[in-house]
Structure 1
């Protein structure tokens, strides 16, 4: 995996998650900060490209409604199965079942994971990507602390 790109993303998320909307961070100042933290410019550019595609694509209302109301089961491609082991796949399914992810955000999470490029992705790495995706959604500017606890601490949630 391009570990340094993932590390850049986690660094940015940890350092700037509480950034208020009024305090705009620009790419240039963040690039300088990341370079001073020891990251390479090539990897910094790749991380910024990854972040630019972190928003759910716009669907027309009909296709959006079909995707949200779908009762189908997500079948992972062989490439996705190679990267996301059964534990990761199960965790994505659980988050969808409890309403933290919808089909669109689930697909965005899978897309972002696949772009990071590696043989296998750990559950902890997946959790970071999920939080990054959720925090960049229109309603996700401030992630509910319960969701963050659920994702990272494995709070028991009664499944019915």
Structure 2
């Protein structure tokens, strides 16, 4: 499924540039993806579309994406979320949120779509999910965050 999502991300500039799911299914099949992978990805994308319709985010300026600080708000993860995502993925979500690039509404969509992915979700899969959520809203993260999302941490060399 993740390979299909990466293909969609790379081939369609924004979520609104993506064809309807039936047309996308034919295109994915023509590119040689397995029917089961295509079906899983289309169900996942449909869930992303439904989740995206439930919120309205400003798309004017990046400053509007930054969440307003609130000392009273705290996200508590359920046991199911902890089991499905693991500490590494939840830590990465926390990093994005504390960096001001993942507002609470988008965080909830990321978590919803991560819970819809096969368990256990690895960090690389979560990064693809985050990219797809940004993609759906037509938002390209800044260069440093995009580098963090696209970088393979396995190849990093400590200084």
Gaps in structure 2 of 5+ consecutive residues: 57-66, 153-159
- 1:19–1:97 CA distance, 2 compared to 1 (3 A): closer
Residue of structure 1 in register with 2:34 after alignment: 40
RMSD: 2.9
Question: Could you tell me which of 149, 154, 158 is aligned with 2:147?
Answer: 149
Deviates more, 1:77-86 or 1:96-105: 77-86
Residue 31 of structure 1 deviates from its aligned partner by 1.7
Distance 1:51 1:103 in 2: 20
Residue 69 of structure 1 deviates from its aligned partner by 5.8
Distance 1:20 1:124 in 2: 21
Residue 75 of structure 1 deviates from its aligned partner by 1.8
Residue 43 of structure 1 deviates from its aligned partner by 3.9
Question: Could you tell me which of 48, 53, 64 is aligned with 2:47?
Answer: 53
Report if the CA contact (8 A) 1:6-1:116 is conserved: no
Residue 123 of structure 1 deviates from its aligned partner by 0.6
The count of residues paired between Structure 1 and Structure 2 equals: 139
Residue 95 of structure 1 deviates from its aligned partner by 0.4
Residue of structure 2 in register with 1:11 after alignment: 7
Distance 1:12 1:86 in 2: 28
Relative to the length of structure 2, the TM-score reads 0.71
Secondary structure class of the residue paired with 2:121: coil
Residue 117 of structure 1 deviates from its aligned partner by 2.8
Deviates more, 1:144-153 or 1:77-86: 144-153
Report if the CA contact (8 A) 2:14-2:135 is conserved: no
